[in-house]
Amino acid sequence: MKSHCLKTCQWVASASLLLLVTASMAGATVTYSGLAGGTPGNVGPGLPSPSIVPGKEYSHDVDQTTTGGGGISDPEQVIAWDGIGGTADGLDYSSTRIDYTNNDQVDATANRRDHLFNEVLGSEDAPDRAHLIFSHDDQISVYFGGGPPVVGGYTPFPLSPAYSGGPFTLANGTQIGGTGELSYELATAFSPPSSQGIWANQGQINGMPNPVDVDGVEVWGPEPAFKADAEKYSLNTDLFSNTSVWSLDLSTNVSTPYISRAQIDAAVVALLGLPPGSAVLPYPTPIEGIDAINLDALMVQDIINDGTGPDTFDRDPGGGVGDRIIFSISQIPDPQDPDGYYATGSEIFVLDASQPNNPMFLYHGGHLWNQAYALANLLVSPNLIDNGYAVIDVNAIEAISEGVVPEPTCMMLLLAGLAVISGWRSRR
């Protein structure tokens, strides 16, 4: 994420006064306030408040605008949030694609150089040092009958829970955020395995109206966050466009394919096997077999640029590490499978363009984010779904550090802006 310090700081100082004036005006949405720009600071056991992490954007399912009364459907619109309830419209990917012109729904966002990408990757020999943040879907497939379906057993059906606000209780007693919130898992280097909880609640993400289903998140961008940098994104559903990740050129406002659906299919099949015809993506319309694979959460580290055309997912010509992504896919139930799923949706994959045939599961929080972990640890408490059996579906991922390093000039101008407000108030 590039620094835009001068313009950002000027905006922050003036926005402080603007916020004071607009706060007394009637409106359905909370005005976006100014944050100092900054970058990740020291890694450590602590969690930063959402209100101090700059450049925060989220995607909602369904996509929404903050204008007017807020909460109004607006396909491909991303929302900037300040961490204390204020929001503003951010990027809108509509009409940026030449080859796929449908106005669709955004279901994953990232920046080409996501901060803390390397730090969130771990292994048993080299523990991860950045905290993972994530959200989960408000539509999951539930089986009734007291446990996982046997082969040929129960038929899944969609559940739209009223659990957008946490705490959301898992079967092992862990409490995470609801589907309209962001949860965390602390880094292995500083905490016991699977240390999870709520990082940002509904009111912090959007004070009015509260989000119901956060399905994409990006942080560490410029401020104000509506001058956004989430230029890597995915649409729902990949089958429709044959593209799993798109790349938006912010200078031309043109989107081009970054990663094909075939590349994501190959990576998933390498780890989970070929999905049978009984494996079905239920939403937004039933899709069977390999066509059901749909990327819905994303982080990106794009380091290879040959400069010959639109940005693409490239291997390193010298044989080293290429462009890489961390991603998850939508939940794919399979009633013919002994555990009920082809994919729980909470498997998190790591793919290197230099090694397309060797994808891995993410190691974070002292464990692999694979299907075995999801089935053992991410089961929804039976008390929440009337004794049904279901696993959460992770649909947004990002990384945060303990500290935030503010841009010094921004901090000075922010203090100046606050001094202006203080003097204005005293004169009243």
Q: What is the DSSP string of 78-144?
A: EEEE-SSS-EEEEEE-TT-BSS-----EEEEEE-TB-TTHHHH---SSS---SEEEEEE-S-EEEEE
Give residue 398's pLDDT: 98
Q: What angle separates helix 408-427 from helix 5-22, to the nearest 10 degrees? A: 20
CB 132 within 8 Å of CB 120: yes
Q: What is the pTM of this model?
A: 0.89
Give residue 184's pLDDT: 98
317: exposed, middle or buried (C-beta count within 10 Å: 0-12, 13-18, 19+)?
exposed
Distances (CA, A) of 17 to 8, 32, 207, 259, 415: 15, 12, 20, 43, 12
Interatomic CA distance for residues 259 and 262, integer angstroms = 8
Interatomic CA distance for residues 47 and 106, integer angstroms = 28
Give residue 68's pLDDT: 86
Give residue 198's pLDDT: 98
Q: Tokens for 427? A: 């004169």
Interatomic CA distance for residues 302 and 117, integer angstroms = 10
pLDDT (tens digit, 9 = 90+) per residue, 370-423?
999 999 999 999 888 888 899 999 999 999 999 999 876 554 444 444 444 344
pLDDT (tens digit, 9 = 90+) per residue, 206-257?
999 999 999 999 999 999 988 779 999 999 999 999 999 999 999 999 999 9
Give residue 144's pLDDT: 81
Give residue 12's pLDDT: 41
Asked if the peptide bond before residue 167 counts as cis, ω within 30 degrees of 0, the response is yes
Give residue 145's pLDDT: 75
Give 10-residue mean pLDDT values along the chain (428 residues).
40 38 48 89 96 97 93 96 96 96 97 97 96 95 79 63 86 96 98 98 96 97 89 96 97 96 98 96 90 98 86 95 98 91 97 97 98 96 87 97 81 44 40
Exposure string (b/e) for 11-45, b if CB count within 10 Å is 16 or more? bbbebbeebbeeeeeeeebbbbbbbbbbbbeebee
Residues 6+ apart with CB under 8 A from 250: 229, 231
322 half-sphere exposure, CB direction, 13 A CA radius: 18
Interatomic CA distance for residues 367 and 345, integer angstroms = 16
Give residue 2's pLDDT: 41
Interatomic CA distance for residues 428 and 423, integer angstroms = 9
The residue behind tokens 């955020």 is 177
Q: Tokens for 150? A: 């046997």
The residue type at 215: D
